[in-house]
Amino acid sequence: MNVFFRFMTLQDLDRIIEIEQCSFTLPWSRSSFYQELTNNPYARYIVMEYDGQIIGYCGMWLVMDEAHITNIAVLSEFRGKKLGEALMKQAMELAKKEGAQTMTLEVRVSNIVAQSLYRKLGFLNGGIRKRYYSDNQEDALVMWVKL
């Protein structure tokens, strides 16, 4: 499956919000993405396209030598095809090119599929953020990788 990666633009926001709402119980708002793209000098957002349609995206903050994944999502019908892995690898490569030496993220303790992907990419457990997710008070597993 041939996919194309590029930086997210404001014109992508309608599609990004669709994917966000299908993917998360606590989706980010359009204004949150707008603020990230227009007012956050640390933010980098990439999209993944297939046949001219955005099917996934990943965002991160780059601060000093650290990258923090803010969100990553792939449309459900494209999951299980190693596209999340391709998207994460693209984000990791971008972070490395921008000078990051480490990358971190939070993932629900119940999201075993995502944790498996992150471990495959070299991420290690770093700690637990108690009651991190406000929808159900679920803990977040903090994971780290050296780039």
Residue spans of the domains in the chain: they are 4-146
pLDDT, residue 135, reads: 83
The DSSP bridge pattern shows strands 53-63 and 66-74 to be: antiparallel
Task: Name the nearest CA neighbour of 15 among 66, 74, 68, 65.
Answer: 74
**132 catalytic residue (yes or no):** no
Residue the block writes with tokens 């923090």 = 68
> Which one from 20, 45, 57, 106 is the annotated catalytic residue?
106
pTM for the full predicted model: 0.93
Domain 4-146 sits in CATH at 3.40.630.30
For the record, the structure tokens of 30 come out as 């359009």
> Which one from 36, 93, 118, 133 is the annotated catalytic residue?
118
Q: What angle do CA 111, 44, 30 make, to 5 degrees?
A: 75
**36 catalytic residue (yes or no):** no
Residue the block writes with tokens 């990666």 = 5
Count other C-beta atoms under 10 Å from residue 24's C-beta: 13
DSSP class of residue 26?
A: S
pLDDT tens column, 40-60:
999 999 999 999 999 999 999
The region, left, alpha or beta by phi > 0 then psi within -120 to 50, assigned to residue 104 is: beta
> Which range has the worst mean pLDDT, 7-11, 76-80, 98-102?
76-80
Radius of gyration over alpha carbons of the chain, in Å?
Answer: 15
pLDDT tens column, 84-119:
999 999 999 999 999 999 999 999 999 999 999 999
Do residues 57 and 45 make contact, with C-beta atoms less than 8 angstroms apart? yes
Spatial neighbors of 82 by CB under 8 A, at least 6 apart, are none
Distance CA 4, CA 142 (A): 29
pLDDT, average across residues 67-75: 96
Task: Name the nearest CA neighbour of 83 among 91, 93, 74.
Answer: 74
Averaged confidence pLDDT in the chain: 95
